[in-house]
Amino acid sequence: GQDAFVLACLGCPVRLVERSPVIAALLRDGLRRAMQNPDISVVVAERMSLQVADGREYLLALDESQWSDVIYLDPMYPHRRKTALAGKEMRLLRTLAGDDPDAAELLAVALTRARRRVVVKRPRRAPALSGPMPDARIIAPNTRFDLYMTHPKIIGKPCPTSTAMD
């Protein structure tokens, strides 16, 4: 939900789609609490919505008029071989939601429904999801964003709508 909130603060309308009922309940509670904060309630009320659904099914059910310019996928990170433990929050989320073995299938569907691009958040050193290679990558110290362009003529133009999927 943090990435979705940042996108909303930047002016993008965001539809969060979460298939895990437990994680969706946590997101719903976070949105409810954010609505009580006068400094951010307008952003949350006007730009964020939550759907409890499988991302693939959700995207396939959309009418073309409902397609987003950008679809942001944030699948559960793959297990690491390092001995250091992930943060408490990530360990809890992994326990609640499990892995995302179908993340590549979600990417394939997202590529048919995004008007401009699909962005996939990955660990910096993780392999790309199976399927087409990303058109570009943005690399941060611990995270990488794989970008898949679905309409190359409009690369670089601002995007008015987005869908974030965990």
Strand blocks (E) in 56-127: 70-73, 117-123
Residue 79 has pLDDT above 70, yes or no: no
User: If pLDDT is split at 50, 70 and 90, which confidence band does 75 have?
Assistant: confident
Residues ≥6 apart with Cβ < 8 Å to 86: 77, 80, 94
Predicted TM-score of the model (pTM): 0.81
Tokens of 131: 């399927």
Between CA 76 and CA 62 the distance in angstroms is: 24
User: If pLDDT is split at 50, 70 and 90, which confidence band does 83 have?
Assistant: very low
**CATH-assigned architecture of domain 2-165:** 3-Layer(aba) Sandwich (3.40)
109-156 confidence digits (pLDDT tens): 999 999 999 999 999 998 999 999 999 999 999 999 999 999 765 545
Residue 41 has pLDDT above 80, yes or no: yes
Between CA 75 and CA 102 the distance in angstroms is: 9
Residue 73 has pLDDT above 60, yes or no: yes
Residue 166 has pLDDT above 70, yes or no: no
At 35, the amino acid letter reads M
